[in-house]
C-alpha cells in the first residue's frame, strides 16, 4: 500500500511514575495525548534542568516536530509525574488534514508555534538566572524573579483563599504582572472577611487585557497598608500554575 493509502492506528502506551517518556535532543515524530496522569516538560539550560510546564489529561506534547518542519529533534524532555496513559498519533495521519487547512490558518498556527518557542526559551532563561542568584546567596531571589518582565496593567480580579472551604469571593485590582507574580490592590475592608497575612495563599481569577481569562494561584509576599488610605497593596508570588495558565500568561507577556 502506498504512503497515501497507508493507515496509522492510534497506539496506547503506559508509563510509571518517574519514567522518561521523551528526551531532549532525541529524534522522534510521534504526537502524544494524555489520557490519564500528569507529565513534566523540562529543558536543559547549561547544567540546570528547567521545568517549563506540567501537563494533564486532554493536553498534548510532541507536536513541535509536526508543526515546525525544520525541527528534527525533540526540543524538551518529558517525564511522568505519576502513572500515565497516553495516546500516540503518527503525524502522517494528521498531515492530510493539516494540508487541507486554509493558508491563513496554517500561517496563524505557525506564528503561534514560533511565539510559544520564544516564550519557552525566555522562561527557561529567566529560571536559570533565578537559580544562579540563589546559588550566589541572594536572599531576595524570589523578588528578583517577579521583577523580570514586569508588565503594568489595571485589571479587576476576584480572589479567594486557596485550598479551603471558604465561599468568600473578594474584589481586587491587578496593577502589574510578571511570569513569577503580580501586584494587587484591594480594599482594607477585605481583610475583615479573610486573613491577608504574609504566606496566605489565594486563588485569583481575572481577564487579561488580551481578552483571555486566567486563574492564578499565589501566596502573599508583602503587604503595604500605608501607601493609599483605605487600600492594601499586596505583592503576590505565583505558585503551582497549571501548564495552560503558564502558556496564557506567557503569551500575554510577549504581546
DSSP secondary-structure letter at 26?
A: -
Which fold, 141-254?
A: Thrombin, subunit H (2.40.10)
Residues 6 or more apart in contact with residue 2 via CB below 8 angstroms: none
pLDDT, the chain, mean: 81
State the cell numbers at 21. Answer: 517518556
pLDDT in tens, 39-70: 998 888 777 777 778 889 999 888 776 666 55
Choose which CATH entry (3.90.180.10, 2.60.120.10, 3.30.2290.10, 3.30.70.2750) describes domain 11-134: 2.60.120.10
pLDDT exceeds cutoff 50 at 24: yes
- The number of beta carbons lying within 10 Å of the beta carbon of residue 34 is 20
Is residue 251 over pLDDT 50? yes
User: Which pLDDT tens digit goes with each residue over 156-207?
Assistant: 999 999 876 668 899 999 999 988 899 999 999 988 888 898 999 999 999 9
pLDDT range class, residue 147, cuts 50, 70, 90: very low
Is pLDDT at 85 greater than 90 in this prediction? Answer: yes
Domain ranges in the chain? 11-134, 141-254
Beta strands in 37-100 (DSSP E): 39-45, 48-55, 60-61, 77-80, 84-89
The structure's pTM equals: 0.45
Of 144, 115, 119, the residue nearest 132 (C-alpha): 144
Span 130-142, average pLDDT: 58
Q: What is residue 170's predicted lDDT score, i.e. its pLDDT?
A: 93
Q: Is 253 helix (H, G, I), strand (E, B) or coil?
A: helix
Higher pLDDT, residue 131 or 103: 103
Amino acid at each position: 500500500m502506498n504512503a497515501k493509502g497507508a493507515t496509522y492506528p492510534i497506539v496506547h502506551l503506559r508509563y510509571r511514575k518517574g519514567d522518561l517518556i521523551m528526551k531532549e535532543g532525541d529524534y522522534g515524530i510521534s504526537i502524544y495525548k494524555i489520557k490519564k496522569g500528569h507529565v513534566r516538560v523540562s529543558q536543559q539550560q547549561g547544567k540546570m534542568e528547567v521545568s517549563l510546564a506540567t501537563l494533564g489529561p486532554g493536553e498534548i506534547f510532541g507536536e513541535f516536530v509536526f508543526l515546525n518542519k525544520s525541527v528534527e529533534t525533540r526540543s524538551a524532555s518529558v517525564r511522568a509525574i505519576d502513572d500515565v496513559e497516553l495516546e500516540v498519533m503518527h503525524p502522517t495521519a494528521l498531515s492530510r488534514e493539516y494540508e487541507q487547512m486554509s493558508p491563513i490558518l496554517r500561517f496563524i498556527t505557525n506564528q503561534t508555534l514560533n511565539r510559544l518557542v520564544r516564550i519557552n526559551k525566555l522562561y527557561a532563561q529567566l529560571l536559570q538566572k533565578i537559580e544562579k542568584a540563589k546559588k550566589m546567596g541572594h536572599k531576595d531571589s524570589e523578588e528578583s524573579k517577579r521583577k523580570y518582565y514586569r508588565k503594568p496593567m489595571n485589571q479587576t480580579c476576584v480572589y479567594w483563599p486557596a485550598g479551603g472551604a471558604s465561599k468568600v469571593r473578594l474584589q481586587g485590582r491587578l496593577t502589574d504582572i510578571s511570569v513569577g507574580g503580580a501586584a494587587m490592590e484591594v480594599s482594607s475592608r477585605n481583610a475583615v472577611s479573610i486573613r491577608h497575612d504574609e504566606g496566605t495563599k489565594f486563588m485569583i481569577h481575572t481577564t487579561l487585557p488580551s481578552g483571555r481569562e486566567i486563574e492564578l494561584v499565589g501566596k502573599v509576599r508583602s503587604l503595604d497598608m500605608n501607601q493609599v488610605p483605605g487600600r492594601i497593596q499586596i505583592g503576590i508570588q505565583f505558585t503551582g500554575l497549571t501548564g495552560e495558565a503558564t502558556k496564557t500568561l506567557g503569551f500575554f507577556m510577549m504581546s
